[in-house]
Structure 1
């Protein structure tokens, strides 16, 4: 798999970033051993870049997964909601301790909404900048689902990396279209920022259009790498084949299609009811303060397109 430098960071990564949320109890609920095996398998296939977050609670998977891999050959990115020096210190120390490493390649502020939320987290940024000077972090940045979040980096030149939501349907972008997002990302690219995108398959909703969806993001010249959640060797192989050759082996594709998929709703659902209004099948309802799919659900994923919290996924 081809490697590319993330902007001006000096960090070289594979075109695919292993999105590791999918292996956790929040989604596939793989064992640590199985999750670690997939990390090693992906590395052997050329994927040297992994994205995680403190909230994913999967550092133990990663510790086991990178065991035996030369640390300087593997790139780790994690995220935190820290907004004070003390919280930032705890987040960094937790990541270093639980992963068993001396440094984190990329540390992101998780789910930033605008320049004002970045400003509100600036005490944490100052701590991370000092940790960067000490060699404990190589690059700092943000993840965001918002165009306004991406625009924040135009003003914060000390931030190196952005991890934005980009997919061909714009599913999950809260405040504009995918083309609004791309307009800002191109500006950031020209400034030398490293850009690796998320949700190319729209949280699972574009799986049936995977070729088209992956190619859409792959062909954007100012996105360095694409984070894709993967739960099996077949999914790893399929994504590599799509990136490298625009095709998937028919046997692998058939295996993936046989998977019994389901709709899940994250615990942070705010029960706003927009998904209920959107569904034409009466396939989801609010029960005990949470959106809950029922037997009418056909896994079309349309409900997710109106979820303001992006907490509905097909897995």
Structure 2
């Protein structure tokens, strides 16, 4: 069953990719290494875009090409297939990949760790659903980006803690969620920027912010690579990690400039871009302990029947090669 899912995910990755390329030495000019990063488009990608635009990758001999995927599972497939060098994964996907024999490791945070004070994602209910609080989601339908996602885990815990039962979760790409809410195809959704603003502008009601409410200062997503690729070229991983660290630290003090990158890279208007939120505490390190906390929550919910060592899921300079 899992092999069929991964095959389907790989096909999805190939379908949604908007750019292609492989890593390794030698860019188009012979000086830069072309590196493909597979992302799930959302506002925190602004830090990566900033690093590209400010030359932080180029200074380290890297030229970044962007691929786009609908969710983290096809990103893992693209990494395994060698179609991308680094890719966006959420912590649950990272855990499941390693449990199932696909060694993938976090190399860098996306934007830091989860801010306890602000969030770019929210659990919202449609304007016409009649849902006013988490308890009202009993027997209702909630969209999440995928059924093995950090969004599902957080929303499920908060809904169950509110006493609601019988909630159905369905997988749906973020860009489709605002219209699905407006059409009444789902009652609620865990949705992220820049799409959450569209839903709220259309009347959606914010019920909770699962990531910041449950997992402050945690690592809930990262840019990852396969262990094989990291062993083959640890220098590339060190340079990518260093560029992202510089970008995160620069973005901390220059958030408006960081958000402006979304105009070109996510096709937002300048006004929409400046309205986005990067939900970061700006700590450019992976929180290993939080990966264990998320894994424990997955086990409590029956999502997994075995565990992995959290520290093995994080790459460190000097750990390979």
Pair in the same fold by TM > 0.5? no
- Alignment TM class, shorter chain as reference: under 0.3
Larger relative CO (CA 8 A, sep 6+): 1 or 2? Answer: 2
